[in-house]
Amino acid sequence: MKTTKVLIASDFHAPFQDENCLSAMLSFCKWWKPNEIFINGDLLDAYAFARFVKNPETALKAQDEIDEAINILKQIKNVNPQAKICLVRGNHCYRLQKYLWTRAPELSGLRDLTVESLLQLKHLGISYASQGRLEHRGIIIKHGSVVRKHSAYTAKAEYEKEGQSGVSGHTHRLGMYRKDNVNKPHVWIECGCMCKKDMEYMEGEPADWHHGFCVGYFYRDGLFTLIPVPIINNKVLFEGKQF
């Protein structure tokens, strides 16, 4: 039975990615060799285009932020050169487009100011899900917009919204919700985050965020399993191995 291995990681928020978590994920990828990789939204933080009050020194470094995001893509590509990679639009990636539409609409039609162009996706051979969601191998992969208070609460809400299995990001939490009905079993995964937990807008408050990602095994007959993979103390433990 042929198996396709899929890895889904979310919320890097470059240039605020957690480098230790990124290193652990890359080591895991090099060993596990996923066939497909989905970066499930918010690769970029788009800090310069946020509405909240910002540190002006950081806000004036939009190009540095984009360069950091490209570097992350290149690292993922380098350890998985044969994998198909797709970037899913997240709400932070969408900040640039909204900024252009509201503050500089005259520039919004320039091809070089799109996310695809700025992140060199075509050059890197990476596809872009510009709607922030897609259906793939019988599940939905989306960045998401729903946020509930606790781990897995959002997974439940996303399942109830979509009515089928899927994976979402956005909450920066890991969680799993399962639902069996008369037709077949369903599962929804919140796939954690890859960013630092001390983001500026948290204002020193402890963040109930979970470092990690999600992996899936998909079979030709439609059978699949999805597994949340936590990163604990900067390490991934999977199938008795440490990365």
CATH code, 133:
3.60.21.10
Q: Which domain holds residue 126?
A: 3-242
Q: What is the pLDDT of residue 1?
A: 57
Q: What is the pLDDT of residue 173?
A: 97
pLDDT digits (tens, 9 = 90+) for 85-115: 999 999 877 777 776 777 767 766 777 778 8
pLDDT digits (tens, 9 = 90+) for 215-227: 999 998 788 999 9
pLDDT one digit per residue (tens) for the chain, 243 residues: 589 999 999 999 999 999 999 999 999 999 999 999 999 999 998 777 666 555 665 655 778 888 999 999 999 999 999 999 999 999 877 777 776 777 767 766 777 778 888 899 999 999 999 999 999 999 999 999 999 999 999 999 999 999 999 999 999 999 999 999 877 889 999 999 999 998 766 666 788 999 999 999 999 878 899 999 999 999 999 999 999
Q: What is the pLDDT of residue 2?
A: 84
pLDDT digits (tens, 9 = 90+) for 129-142: 999 999 999 999 99
Q: What is the pLDDT of residue 35?
A: 97
Q: Two tokens at 40?
A: 């499930």
Give me the number of domains the chain comprises: 1
